[in-house]
Structure 1
Amino acid sequence: MSRAPLKRPRPAYRVLSALALLTLTAGTVTACGSDDSSSPQAAASPSATSSASPGGGRSAGPKPHMISHDGHRLAFYVTRGSGRTIVLDSGGGEDASYWKDLVPKLHAATGATVITYDRAGMGKSDVVPGAWQAESAADDLKSGLEQLGVTGNVILVSHSEAGEVANHFAEENPKMLSGAVLVDANLPQFFTDEETARVVAASRSQVEAAKKDPGKPANRQLISTAEDYLPAHRAFHKVSRPDSVPATVIVSEKTPFDGSPVDARRWRDAAASFVKAGPDRTLVTAKGSSHDVPKDRPALVLKEIEDMAAAAPS
């Protein structure tokens, strides 16, 4: 299952996106204090290079279905198939175009309907003022799927920040899901009070920089995510995922904290703890991969989705 990562340069992008804090700044972020063993650093290795700038245009593909929910519109992109539905949810700072290379391969391999979408404030979806809430994002996703006629037999594939959406979605709508693939995703076990405080400290300077140019989509999302970060992630830490939904957890070898061994270990431990917390959960390590697993190891991600589609109950 091991494959060497693709050798291509990428900018240091959305450094703390794995923790639902979005950035477009380069370099590393270090928390206050001089003790290296207790200061979280953002990953030294770069994260995702979007196929389109956050909030920007999309390359040719399915035309968006504009879904209205709770006073705003969301763009959903549907590649029609038969049988089950596979939904791909992007990480922080990314819109649906992040999956553009994987969608046709996944559709060809499974024959399933494949859906991607732009979360509120990204791509062609409307901006929603105020603090970003994963629960609201999960409700957006549910409403969009229902309006598209999808009410069950869904495999939800979630990268990075989308792990928060996925866990809230599964807690509230377990009967809609037949399986999940969590790709280096935010998991409740990681967000202890201590770790959440470290993230806030590490990202403080980036949040202040974003406030100087709030018109950019990524900056806008960073500001809205940071607004209620502590209480939101204390609540997320208590989310209980139902045992009825099988899950595959793919964790990157380098993690989002390639420059901080303490936080990298906690990230890996959280993934292992999540898998042990329920039945029908499998842990897979993406050897050689940065946090950007869908770009570094697309064949692995494709295989795990295919396996889940084949094994998950109909």
Structure 2
Amino acid sequence: MDAGGGLDSSYWKDLVPRLAAATGSKIITYDRSGLGDSDEVPGPWKVENAVSDLEAGLRELGVTRDVILVSHSQAGEVATYFTRAHRETVSGTVLVDANLPQLYTDGTIARLMALSTPQVEAAKADPSTKENRRLVATAANYVPAHRAYHRVSWPDSVPATVIVSGKTPFEGSPEDARLWREAAAAFVEAGPDRTLVTAEGSSHDVPVDRPDLVLGEIEKMIAARG
């Protein structure tokens, strides 16, 4: 279970015991670099590093097969690249209001950069906090990283359930909310064994607002993948 940008493993604290009890599965949560108890890594945030960290952590735990990734928001990018590199390891995914490749056209990237610029500039002016340093690191190579991500495809051999929030991360921007929903639909339509589920009434924090829905979709994926 991998939380979104700026969030650590504690994001899942209410779901983990319920999911373990319901499924009997081993549940793994972790803090990506710079989050929670994990060390910061200097320089721009790179998805390749996040994928390498996840790979190393699973290998250390002896987990090399039958993995179902549950990935929220920014962690959808990690899930995409990890699944492409380790199709033999990942048996299914539940992408919870996740960043998906279809969203990141040049036009959308420009819109998102413009929306975040004031916050990033404020963070640059005060690099004393871990949160601000993380924000600056994420913004540093945002444009080339997401242009590359837009060209990445999900492997057809790995099923995916996409949960999209009713309100999306862009409650105040109808145009961006529309693009977010359309990207989720386009992702599902682009390959086999993909399911789209809408968390009606939910904010971007679907695991908080609609925990039963998230748990139910994870349980379905576990049951389907044995």
Contact 1:251 1:271 in 2 (8 A): yes
**Match among 31, 37, 40 for residue 124 of structure 1:** 37
Give per-residue Cα distances to partners, 1:262-301, cap 9 Å, x unaligned: 1111100000000011100000000110111000000000
2:125 alignment partner, SS class: coil
Shift of 1:212: 2.0
1:248 corresponds to? 161
For the pair shown, which has the larger CA radius of gyration, 1 or 2?
Answer: 1
Listed as ranges, the matches of 1:70-85 within 5 Å are: none
Q: Hey, what does 1:140 align to over in structure 2? A: 53
| 1:63-84 deviation per Cα after TM superposition (whole angstroms, max 9, x unaligned) | xxxxxxxxxxxxxxxxxxxxxx
Residue in structure 2 matched with residue 301 of structure 1 by the alignment: 214
Partner residue of 2:139 out of 219, 226, 250:
226
Deviation at 1:218, TM superposition (A): 1.4
Q: CA deviation at 1:137?
A: 0.4
Question: Deviation of residue 111 (structure 1)?
Answer: 0.2
Unpaired stretches in structure 2, ≥5 consecutive residues: none
Distance across 2 between alignment mates of 1:122 and 1:264: 27
Any unmatched runs of 5+ in structure 1? Answer: 1-87
Which residue does 2:8 correspond to in 1? 95
Distance 2:167 2:27 in 1: 29
2:213 and 2:130 mapped to 1: Cα distance?
30
Equivalent pair of 1:171/1:239 in contact (CA under 8 Å): no
| Counterpart contact for 1:155–1:179, Cα < 8 Å | yes
Specify which of 20, 24, 28 is matched with residue 107 of structure 1: 20
Counterpart amino acid of residue 222 in structure 1: L
Tell me which residue corresponds to 2:197. 284
SS at match of 2:164: strand
Which whole-Å CA distance do the structure 1 matches of 2:34 and 2:132 have between them?
Answer: 11
Instruction: Report the equivalent of 2:181.
Output: 268
Distance 2:107 2:77 in 1: 18
Are residues 1:167 and 2:44 paired? no
1:182 to 88, 95, 99: 95
Asked if the contact 1:107–1:113 (Cα under 8 Å) also holds between the matched residues in 2, the reply is yes
For residues 199 and 265 of structure 1, what CA distance do their matches in structure 2 show?
14
- Deviation of residue 129 (structure 1)? 0.5
C-alpha separation between the residues in 2 aligned to 1:184 and 1:170? 17
TM-score, scaled relative to structure 1: 0.71
CA distance in 2: counterparts of 1:116 and 1:213, whole angstroms? 30
**Higher helix fraction: Structure 1 or Structure 2?**
2
Identical-residue share of aligned pairs (%)? 66
Instruction: Give, in whole Å, the separation in 1 of the partners of 2:10 and 2:203.
Output: 20
Runs of 4+ deviating beyond 4 Å = none
Equivalent residue number for residue 151 of structure 1 = 64
Alpha-carbon deviations, 1:144-181, whole Å to 9, x = none? 10111000100000001101111111111111101000
Question: 1:108: Cα distance to partner?
Answer: 0.1
Name the count of aligned residue pairs: 226
User: How far did residue 133 of structure 1 move?
Assistant: 0.9
Structure number with the higher strand fraction is 1
Stretch of structure 1 that moved more, 166-175 or 110-119: 166-175
Within 1, Cα distance between the matches of 2:84 and 2:13? Answer: 28
Shift of 1:139: 1.3
Q: Secondary structure at the match of 1:107?
A: helix
